[in-house]
Amino acid sequence: MKHTVQLQSILVATIFGAALAGCGGEPSEKDIHAAITKEQQATPELMKGLVPEITGVKKLGCKSDSNQAYICDLQMEARQFGKTSTAVAPVRFVKTSDGWAITK
């Protein structure tokens, strides 16, 4: 009986821990793509030809900046005025109720 209670406690703790792990942590590459797409879609129509279009993103790594924020080093490919270039840049992401968002 004692072993059954201990086993149940361990099982509940494991399930609870796994559920919490899914809710926290740094943004995935998919989350980063979604945040960049959302940011690009928010660009005013008048500025669309002047702002570089991000055509590719690769997450190199992230570090925690606060409770719900991370600074991620990204390798980004951008196209502007018919030219494509690649650069590495740090970008800060914060977790919102709508998912991850880029912060200035």
Report yes or no on whether pTM surpasses 0.75.
no
Q: Which two tokens stand for residue 31?
A: 């989350």
Residue 95 pairs with which residues in a beta bridge?
100
3-61 confidence digits (pLDDT tens): 444 434 443 344 444 333 445 699 999 999 999 999 999 888 888 888 899 999 999 99
Domain map (residue ranges) of the chain: 27-103
Q: How far is CA 92 from the centre of its chain?
A: 9
